[in-house]
Amino acid sequence: MKKLEKLKNVLFATVFVFAGCTDLDEELFDQTEGSTFFSDDREIELGIASVYQAFVLLPDHFNYWLLQELSADAVFIPIRGGDWDNGGVHLELSGHTWSTDNPAIDGAWNTLYQIVARANSIIATIEAQGELNAVQRAGLAEAKTLRAFSYWALLDLFGTPPLVTDAFIDPNNLAGNATPEQLFSFVETEILSAISDLPAISSERGRVDKDSARAVLLNLYLNAETYVGAPRWADVISVADEIINSGQFTLVTDALPNNHGANNRESSENIWVLLNSPERGIASSMHFAYRSLHYNQDVQYDLPGGGWNGYSTIADFYNTFEENDARKKWMVEGPQFNPDGSQIFTRDGFELDFTLDIPAERLSGEALEKAGVRVLKYDNRGANLVGSEYDVDYVLFALNEVILAKAEAQARLGSTGEAAITINPIRVRAGLAPLATATVEDVYDERGRELAFDAKRRTDMIRNGTFISETWTFKTVSQEFRTVYPIPQPQIDANPNLVQNPGY
Amino acid sequence: MRIILQKGIFLVGVLLLSHLVQSQDITGKVSDATGPLPGANVVVKGTTNGTQTDFDGNYVLNNVNSEAILIFSYIGYQTLEVAVDNRSVIDITLEQDAQALDEVFVVGYGTIKKQDQTTSVVSVSSEDFNRGVISSPEELIQGKAPGVVVTQTNGEPGAGLTVRVRGGKSITASNDPLYIIDGVPIDNTSAVPLPGTGAAGTNQSTGNPLAFLNPNDIASINVLKDAAAAAIYGSRGANGVILITTKRGQSGAAKLSLDYNTSVGWVRNRYDIYTAEEIRNLDVEAAITDSGADTDWQDEVYQTAIAQNLNLAMSGGGEGNAYRASLSYANNEGVLQNSGLERITGRYNVNQSLFDGRLELSSNITASRINRSFAPNEQLGGFLGGVLSGLFNYSPTQPVRNEDGTFSNNGTFANPVKLYEDVSDKSVETRILGNISANLKLFPNLTGTVNIGVDHNTGERRNFLARDSQFRPEGFASRITNTRQSKLIESYLTYDKYFGLESRNNLQVVGGYSFQQFDSEGFGASAQDLTLDSFGFNSFASDSDAINPTAFRDRSKLVSFYGRAQYNHDSRYILSAVFRADGSTRFGEDNKWAYFPGVSAAWRIINEKFMDNQSTFSDLKLRASYGSIGNQAIEPYQSLATLASVGQVNFGDNVSQAFFFNNFANPDLKWETTTTTNIGIDWGFLDNRLSGTFEYYISDTDDLLLQIPLPAPADPNVTLANVGSVRNSGFEGSINYRAFDKRDFTWDVGFIFATLKNEVTSLDSSDFSRSEIAYGVTSGEGAGVDNIFRIQVGQPVNAFFGAVFDGLVDGIETYEDLNGDGVINADDRRFIGDAQPDFTYSINSNLRYKNWDLNLFFRGVSGIDIYNNTAQTFGLPTRIGSRNVIRGFIEEGESTTAASRRFSTRFLEDGSFFRLDNFTIGYTLPDGILGFTDSVRFTLSGQNVFVITDYSGQDPEVSAIASSQSIQTQGIDYLTFPRPTTYSIGVNINF
């Protein structure tokens, strides 16, 4: 019985010893408490990397690229049987009838504001360091440039999105709409202040330097009249000249493949690119070849599984290219053959032959899989491909666009002869005859071809007054308010201080 | 003074009188078959004079009238009344009451007699379990407990099951009940990881974590349904508690039991697709590709599933101890090739009684290993498809192999037969669950219990894609290992006291402490560009290109204090109160502790005096309960502002990690609270030949854990907060009828049913408000981006929201212009259905004639809608040509070239069904035919024998396939792994 008494003691001891254990602090292992992070330069670098990382989705399907191209006159996505219907969200972009819950509108907003949110946090953290060292100053300038890019794109797409620079949002004091003037002035001020601390040439490709920041500023000035009603053509020329004269960039001899094909990382023309390395397991949105090419072009284009048979060009746009324009190879037309010379067939057994004519929004019959010349500005051939992504870098800004902006400003200011001199290297490279004079319309047309599928077209059409009033395949004259997209419905739901853009 | 004196005289008189009727002291000893019984009640009938036996079973009763009658009682034993008859020493041996033992429920930290139960608890014992090929314990009680809906996700062996006790209550947190095995709350998340990123073509299934238990080891499964019952498990009880009690040995001669069964299963309801001959002769606009062969792809993809189960158990014990050991082996194939489950489970438990029964030690250990193989049934819409979409993506005119022996390839989709060769997707799961508990009688009325348990579960996923697979040129291999473990230490005291007149009052109090820690960690790596196929998923050592190593680790803790008090007066009035305080690491700094009370009461009318003179009722009890319970089933760290890698970026030739916040701080984050009111009546007529239970409940779940979208700029752009409420209510019942009860012929029939009404009652909190939550999308080519479910106040969770199909115009779908604005767009949608069943029921019939017995089990569901996504996608007539199409989903005139389909009422169908889930015919050899055996029984079982339904898909019972915005979708049928029809034969021999 003595043993039993001891056992009793053990039992009571167990009860009380363990009852004392009421520590409920969480132990973290593979993540860290945010409040103590970003305290040294190394951690700040990791934070800045997160701002760059947020750019990855911009060229994705339901995102920035689609908003800039599908509502314009170059790209169309017909419904092919069950494919590319998606409840009509593509057609409503093409036909300028988009609703406030279109997924591309939501996608672009979220990506751009994710960049803003991350930049806001990093900027606040760096600014809280007090006296800044060189690494911190450069980091601050980088983060501000990335944020300014994002606010420029938000201004361009949405007109009156909220302008927030605080690291943390207060749910009881949410920001309302900003005016275009506020956004314009914010982007301009931020870029101008950042340029001085940015390196002339970024130490690592993919990071912003002075010229990347200038490219943003250039686009802001180029569209100043659209944004705030006051043109800044002279500023366009001076910023363009700063970039051109930096000596960093040259027009490459052949834009494809050098700028948009495999190994375009070496291109001397590209100013700011999103680097893609799916083979290193880094997420990217580079699957343009899949989005456009046919299901059965897997062998021809070395696309495992075959393409998704979507993105096509509109005939009228295709016809703006002269017969011998070298840039036509950004599009895939006509009959398609395997490398061994054998004809490729559609899934219904017709010879695969991409036709210019897209007979209907909703295709049927033989046209089902064939209609539409395909878009292949980012060629996957020769690139490393993992899953459906390949390691061609996505170009945000390049020298050709700077040249075209300068030429446009010159033409707008009446110097059509100087504009021609500016623009001719681009025409010559494409195999076209040089111009003696270049009018605003000449530059507009050249820009349309040179920057085809580069996510510039919607902005260019608005600036040139063609976006609303002109009609093209499956697009009639649209409502005036469609020059800006609506603020996505989920944002209006989540923030009572936001007012929807007029018309929506 | 005089008054005092008078009183004194009176007192003396009384004493004298009482002496005259010969009061005496009585002593004695109460024992049972194995020895003394401490704590047994001894009481003088009609008085409050009573006592309890001491540790040696001895008792002393003072002042007992020589004519009196003594009542001896003890839980689980037959009560005995003994006349004193002038004796002064009365020794008694009580006999165990088998019936009474059966009627004892495990309710968490104790047991309770069924007749005294005040809350909603349902118990299913092994003789009532489902039969046939059973892969996991939940299948045992499918359809057996009213209000407990068990749905098989699909027909994959050992696939996950959805178990909902009184319907789902939470929108984003788990709706799975808490499982407790022999007192140890277990982690019910599978340790098997999902396939590695890049392991294309694989299946998203991880299998059912409970499959590690051998169903043959289970003695009973009890479900605590209402809050007052489950409140003893506090913040984990909101979805009900399922208590699994395993079989234990009994002292005495060793017993050996052997079970073996083998079965065949096949796809009974095949897809109705065109044959090659039919395709060739079609008169349609689309061009027909004829590759000249005649292939039945269903024959190529399906297989006859063979299953074998062997179970061996032995039990016995000597004086003061008992053991049971079992070993089982199961090998169950699926009806898709490459799919199957192989399980070995060993289980051992032992009870040891020490110090004359004052100390009871008990230990359980289960060790199991499950090898699974998953078919490459990619449900989630990969472009190449899986083996099931291959049935429709390959024309029957296409051969399986070309003349040169290579697999045919239509260029766009994966050849399903080649997929079986190219894709290997396996898992290995090892689980060890053990506990040891000690029960010490500190005093005759007070027992102390300590229970220590460990659960260790390791799962490894092994994926391999061959070098010439279409998914990953040059091949892919990955191995990912997860380990989940939990440790439990708990101790509690139980006080049990009888008192009052004839000791008819009983007070039972339990109070204790519990600590449980959950650890989860994992590591994985993959390789691509494999050098050789022959190394399979072990390709890392060769010079392949290793990529994507991953690792994670997390921990959470739960600290609890709990108590329950039950007062029972004369088995007529029973009052119970329960309380638990839970401290969880998972919640916000300001809300670490949660408190869950419950009260309940029962009135056993049958035991009232006024019921003595009637014979209609044999049982009648009213009961009511009220209580609150919680749900803390969210991932750890959700209340903290945490920072982690959000990916990587290229900086030149370097790769930089990107770090950012992945969660916002929410110090107020707390548990969801479910408050349930339950009323019930238990009744029996005609000596319980007809008996049953009816119950009604209303449960309100508040402070729902919802993902709230944050306005821009915010990253992440959602935060978890406590917002909104859901109400569930329902009427449940069970009716049992013993139609015949003769020696040679018995027939029992049981019917159970439950209604469920689920409604979102609020989506607001003081900080946040949501008008609606849209989620879920259809799958397949051209799948909509429009969400197909919508959560809105006044609607049930998982309500379908979409367009109303309005026939075809020019061969193309049109929809009703609901708002009459002349344009058909996203505004022309409304609530069109609901994926939760309104009514579930089952009928069970047990017939025995001499040595033959027949069990039939029917199960039905009504008032449920299912979206036939398979029909939408694979019934699309544009597939005619180079692919194949399911017939019966094409309307007259639907274009074979232009048709496309959106989510609408068109393929939303009534998913009600009534099925013969199981029949079993058994024959028991007459006694003595095989002299060396105790009993020999043969069985023939059929499972999923027939289904009566209007649903046009393969099987109306489909379950969640995916989650969208952290919400589990329900009621979408898309390439569901076919559920087999299975016939099995078995033998059971007891030695």
Say which CATH topology domain A41-198 has: 1.25.40
Residue in B411, B438, B708 closest to A295 by CB: B411
Q: What is the pLDDT of residues B594-613, one digit of tens each?
A: 899 999 999 999 989 898 88
The beta strand positions in B570-671, using DSSP E, are 573-584, 593-604, 617-631, 642-651, 654-661
C-alpha B919: how far from chain center? 22
Region A370-379 average pLDDT: 94
Give me the mean pLDDT over the A473-497 stretch: 92
The full 3-state SS of A125-177, as one line of letters, equals HHHCCCCCCHHHHHHHHHHHHHHHHHHHHHHHHHCCCCCCCCCCCCCCCCCCC
List every span in chain A annotated with CATH 1.25.40.900. 209-251+398-469
What residues form DSSP beta bridges with B459?
B429, B482
Residue of B383, B442, B783 lying closest to A305 (CB–CB) = B383
Give the per-residue pLDDT at A430.
Answer: 92
Q: A42-46, A368-372, A470-474, B33-37: which has the minimum mean pLDDT?
A: B33-37
> Cβ contacts of residue B95 below 8 Å, gap of 6+?
B32, B33, B77, B78
Q: What is the pLDDT of residue B22?
A: 66
ipTM: 0.88
Residue B911 in this model has a pLDDT that exceeds 70? yes
Spatial distance between the Cα atoms of B373 and B825, rounded to a whole number of angstroms? 44
Distance CA A408, CA B69 (A): 115
Digit-coded pLDDT (tens) for B404-413: 989 988 777 8
Residue of A nearest to B511 (CA): A15
Q: Is residue B473 predicted with pLDDT exceeding 80?
A: no
Among A43-47, A391-395, B843-847, B909-913, the range scoring the smallest mean pLDDT is A43-47
Using pLDDT thresholds of 50, 70 and 90, give the confidence band for residue B16: very low
How many Cβ contacts (< 8 angstroms) between chains A and B?
Answer: 313
Residue A366 has pLDDT above 60, yes or no: yes
Confidence of residue A489 (pLDDT cuts 50, 70, 90): confident
Instruction: State both tokens at A157.
Output: 């797409």
Query: With contacts defined as CB-CB under 8 Å, which chain B residues touch A62?
Result: 785
Given a cut of 60, whether residue B806 has pLDDT beyond it is yes
CA B821 – CA A231 distance, rounded (Å): 41
Chain A residues whose CB is inside 8 A of the B644 CB are 30-32
Q: Report, as an integer, the average pLDDT of B792-803.
A: 92
CATH number of B245-729+738-990: 2.40.170.20
Q: What is the pLDDT of residue B17?
A: 45
- pLDDT at A371 exceeding the cut of 80: yes
Domain ranges of chain B: 2-98, 245-729+738-990
Q: How far is CA B985 from CA B135, B309, B941, in A?
A: 16, 11, 6
Kindly list the residues from chain A whose CB atom is less than 8 angstroms away from the CB atom of residue B586. 26
**Single pTM value for the model:** 0.85
Mean local confidence (pLDDT), B671-683? 93
B938-967 per-position pLDDT tens digit: 999 999 999 999 999 988 987 655 667 778
Q: Which residues of A touch B895 (CB under 8 A)?
A: 364
End-to-end, the C-alpha distance of chain A in Å comes to 86
CB < 8 Å from B in window 383-412 of A: 386-387
> Which residue has 């993902």 as its token pair?
B707
Q: Express each pLDDT in A130-155 by its tens digit.
A: 888 888 899 999 999 999 999 999 99
B788: closest chain A residue by CA: A87
Could you tell me if A309 and A369 are in contact, meaning their C-beta atoms sit under 8 angstroms apart?
yes
The yes-or-no verdict on residue B698 having pLDDT over 60 is yes
The whole-angstrom separation of Cα B71 and Cα B83 is: 9
What pLDDT is stored for residue B21 in this prediction?
A: 54
Interface of A with B in 39-78 (CB under 8 A): 43, 45-47, 49-50, 52-54, 56, 62
- Per-residue pLDDT reduced to its tens digit, A323-350: 999 999 999 999 999 999 999 998 878 8
The lowest-confidence range among A136-150, A468-482, B303-317, B818-832 is B818-832
Contact between A277 and B655 using a beta-carbon 8 Å cutoff: yes
Q: Give the pairing type, strands B908-910 and B865-868.
A: antiparallel
Does the structure show a pLDDT above 90 at B284?
no
pLDDT on residue B15: 46
User: Using CA atoms, how far apart are residues B121 and B225, in angstroms rounded to an integer?
Assistant: 6
The pLDDT-based confidence of A4 (bands split at 50, 70, 90) is: low
Query: Which range, of A396-410, A468-482, B654-668, B753-767, averages the lowest pLDDT?
Result: B654-668
Give span(s): CATH 1.25.40.390, chain A. 41-198
Residue of A nearest to B650 (CA): A275
Who has greater pLDDT, B686 or B627? B627
Average per-residue pLDDT for chain A = 91
Can you give the pLDDT at residue B14? 46
Assess contact for A205 and A277: CB atoms under 8 A. Answer: no
Q: What is the DSSP letter of B500?
A: S
Q: Give the residue-averaged pLDDT of A256-280.
A: 87
Give the position of tokens 């649209």: A478
Residue B293 has, within 13 A of its CA and on its CB side, a CA count of 16
Residue B835 CB partners (closer than 8 Å, separation 6+): B789, B798, B799, B800, B864, B865, B866, B867, B969, B970, B971, B972
- Residues A58-68 have a mean pLDDT of 96
- Contacts with B876 from chain A: Cβ below 8 Å: 81-82
The domain made up of A209-251+398-469 has a fold known as 1.25.40
Residue A39, pLDDT above cutoff 80? no
Q: Which residues of B touch A368 (CB under 8 A)?
A: 878, 897-898
Say yes or no for a CB contact (<8 Å) between A81 and B715: no
- Per-residue pLDDT tens digits for B381-402: 466 788 898 899 899 999 999 9
The residue among B886, B713, B708, B728 whose CA lies nearest residue B796 is B728
Residue A122 to residue B991: CA distance in whole angstroms: 74
Confidence check: pLDDT of B332 > 80: yes
Give the Cα separation of A197 and A210 in Å (integer): 8
Cβ proximity of B199 and B463 under 8 Å: yes
Least confident of A330-334, A392-396, B170-174: B170-174
Average the pLDDT over each of A126-135, A169-178, B282-291 and give the range with the smallest value: B282-291
Whether residue B205 has pLDDT greater than 90: no
Q: What is the DSSP string of B179-193?
A: EEETTEEE--S--SP
- Counting residues of chain B whose pLDDT is more than 90, the rounded percentage is 41
Q: How sure is the predictor about B196, in pLDDT bands with cuts at 50, 70 and 90?
A: confident
**Of the candidates A359, A385, A384, A386, the residue with the CA atom closest to the CA atom of residue A370:** A359
Q: Which of A459-468, B25-34, B367-376, B527-536 has the highest mean pLDDT?
A: A459-468
Residues B920 and B939 sit within 8 Å (Cβ to Cβ): yes
| A217 CA: distance to closest CA in chain B (Å) | 22
Q: From CA A256, how far away is CA A330, in angstroms rounded?
A: 8
| CATH code linked to domain B2-98 | 2.60.40.1120
The residue-averaged pLDDT of B615-643 equals 88
pLDDT at A14 over 70: no
Average pLDDT over residues B150-167: 84
Check pLDDT > 80 for residue A16: no
